[in-house]
Amino acid sequence: MLGATSVIAKSAEDSKPKNVVPGSIGEPMVISTWDFGVRANTKAIEVLKAGGTALDAVQQGVMVVESDPTVTSVGYGGLPNAAGVVQLDASIMNGNDLECGAVAGLSGFENPVSVARKVMDDTPHVLIVGSGARQFALSKGFKERDLLTERSRAAWQEWRLKQEKKERTEDHDTIGMVAIDRRGQMAAACTTSGLAWKIPGRVGDSPLVGHGLYCDSDVGGAAATGIGEEVIKVCGSYQVVEYMRQGVHPQEAVKKVLQRVLDRQPNQPERWVGFVALRKDGEVGYASTNAGFQVAVADLTSSRLIAAASLR
Ligand code: GLY
């Protein structure tokens, strides 16, 4: 099932993609991972409706999920690492100039995507990690808070008592979002608390540009969810966008990258991966290696939650 909303971008004075159609009006659109993507999309569309940029839309959209204590795989309320510390990874990318920013292993801040945005806007760097990211966030005025909720603390204590060796993967649901605004600007954001009970310091795909997300307004954008190690091995989101650049439809682009994952990991069904993709003309793609993946798609007049196809 593919969305077919057509988007023709309007020319913009600043940082416009090369291939916008002058004088035409584009239709804003957004695609996100999972059911919580519906709420994130609502916020993003609100921003886009008000004339905001795709960059502001993806940031504010995913912040809704970061701040939701009931989501145990993103931001506040996310399940902690093996030491009981919530370590967050996030990134954001501007598809017009390929500027991007990211943080990894950041503890104590509810909205890591906003810290990532500051890395992008205020520094010449792309990725700041661990204690450096904390210092950076403090220097930018972000307020620290305890990210453990009663529920996530109890889950960690239960895990510790059982001495489970396995990482918990079943509710490992990154929010990844790609948006296009009226000017034809595209942007993407991706944010997660990563694998529950991970080895402290473990970093997944989400803060790695080209892996957890990639966006180029000349082509489109993609974002990943699932086991970050598998996404990293295939440079997942970059590869989806590069297939689209070669003329492959976003749905086929997603499936080709997933097939590459499966070809190399045929006997590890727990190591699943999913992608969402949005092409600059509004065509979308979404699928996962395993059943159960859902995606949220919204434009100015509609919002849908869709069950994505799986490859196995
Ligand atoms: N996909 C997010 C992670 O593996 O951390």
The H or E element spanning position 126 is none
DSSP 145-184: -----HHHHHHHHHHHHHT--SPB-TT---EEEEEE-TTS
pLDDT band at 190 (very low <50, low <70, confident <90, very high): very high
pLDDT of 73 > 60? The answer is yes
Q: Which atom of ligand 1 is nearest to the CA of 226?
A: 1
Ligand 1 pocket member 204 (CB < 6 A): yes
Lowest mean pLDDT among 1-15, 27-41, 136-150: 1-15
Burial of 15 (C-beta count, 10 Å sphere; 0-12/13-18/19+)? middle
**306 beta partners:** 295
Rounded to the nearest angstrom, the distance between the alpha carbon of 73 and the centre of ligand 1 is 9
Q: Above 70 in pLDDT, residue 278?
A: yes
Find all residues with CB under 8 Å of 221, minimum gap 6, and list them. 93, 95, 178, 186, 187, 188, 213, 214, 215, 237, 241, 277, 278
What contacts 108, CB < 8 A, 6 or more positions away? 134, 137, 144, 145, 146, 147
205 lines ligand 1 (CB under 6 A): yes
pLDDT beyond 70 at 17: no
Is residue 252 within a helix (H) or strand (E), and if so which, with residue range? helix 250-264
196 lines ligand 1 (CB under 6 A): no
pLDDT at 20 over 80: no
Q: Which atom of ligand 1 is nearest to the CA of 89?
A: 5
Coil/strand/helix, residue 311: coil
CA-198 nearest atom, ligand 1? 5
What is the predicted pLDDT for the residue at 220? 98
pLDDT band at residue 298, thresholds of 50, 70 and 90?
A: very high
Give the DSSP H/E element, type plus range, for residue 207.
Answer: none
Predicted model pTM: 0.91
Catalytic residues: 174
Residue matched to tokens 């940031």: 59
Q: Is 28 in the pocket of ligand 1 (CB under 6 A)?
A: no
Rounded Cα gap, residues 67 and 56, in angstroms: 16
In this prediction, residue 22 carries a pLDDT of: 36
Distance 135 CA to ligand 1 centre (A): 23
| Mean pLDDT for the stretch of residues 294-298 | 97
Mean pLDDT lowest among 3-7, 44-48, 197-201, 287-291: 3-7
Residues in the chain: 312
- Closest residue by Cα to atom 4, ligand 1, is 228
Ligand 1 site, residue 192, Cβ cutoff 6 A: yes
Name the E strands within the chain. 29-33, 88-94, 100-106, 127-129, 175-180, 186-192, 213-216, 220-226, 273-279, 284-288, 294-299, 303-307, 309-310
How is residue 155 written in tokens? Answer: 């889950």
Which among 31, 64, 29 has a CA at the least distance from the CA of 308?
Answer: 31
User: Is the pLDDT confidence value at 198 over 80?
Assistant: yes
* Domain parsing of the chain, residue ranges: 5-310
CA–CA distance, 172 with 282 (Å, rounded to integer): 28
Q: Could you tell me which CATH class the domain 5-310 is placed in?
A: alpha beta
Tokens 């519906």 sit on residue: 38
- Which amino acid appears at position 198 of this protein? K
The rounded Å distance from CA 234 to ligand 1 centre is 14
User: In this structure, are residues 204 and 212 in contact, taking their beta carbons and an 8 Å threshold?
Assistant: yes
* DSSP state at residue 196: B
Is the pLDDT assigned to residue 107 strictly greater than 80? Answer: yes
Residue 6 has pLDDT above 60, yes or no: no
Rounded Cα–Cα distance for residues 191 and 66 (Å):
8
Least confident of 14-23, 31-40, 74-83: 14-23
Q: Span 125-142, mean pLDDT?
A: 98
Banded pLDDT at 269 (limits 50, 70, 90):
confident
194 lines ligand 1 (CB under 6 A): yes
Residue 18 has pLDDT above 90, yes or no: no
**Mean pLDDT value across residues 173-191:** 96
Find the mean pLDDT for residues 84-109.
98
